[in-house]
Amino acid sequence: MDIPRRIDENDPLIWYREAVRYGLAEGTSPGLRQKREALAESMGLTPSQLERLAVLDEEALEYVLELPDIDDDLLWDNPAQPLKKWWWHLGAIREGTYPVEYLPSSVRTIYPLNIRAA
């Protein structure tokens, strides 16, 4: 699914999309987790928005798993956050120690096979 590149100020995904595509793509993204948290807490995302959110989540995890240099702040895991909130556990995801069953089904396929089997 292609996510429009134009900015729609009424789009609830706008700032998460910007954080993933223009921040995380460079290995840093201040506020990425907070933006994703706000989306998790928001009510009323449409099916189309949920589909676009899944695409952005996949992009975010691909960056975390594949970029050679990621800001240490992004890889610090917050133990106070539950595992179902995977965006607070990017360090464990990168290390391959994050339990795959807590990842959304839409992104489980990009988690490397050797990690998933662990």
Per-residue pLDDT tens digits for 32-70:
999 999 999 988 899 999 999 999 999 999 999 999 999
Residue 9 lies in a domain: no
Residue 1 lies in a domain: no
Predicted TM-score (pTM) of the model is 0.85
Residue 24 lies in a domain: yes
Number of domains in the chain: 1
Residue 4 lies in a domain: no
d(CA 82, CA 59): 22
3-state class of 42 per DSSP? coil
Residue 46 lies in a domain: yes
Where in the sequence is the domain holding 57, given as residue range(s)?
14-116
Per-residue pLDDT tens digits for 63-102:
999 999 999 999 999 999 999 999 999 999 999 899 999 9
Q: Give the per-residue pLDDT at 116.
A: 45
Among 48, 23, 25, 53, smallest CA distance to 38 is for: 53
Residue 3 lies in a domain: no
Per-residue pLDDT tens digits for 19-31:
999 999 899 999 9
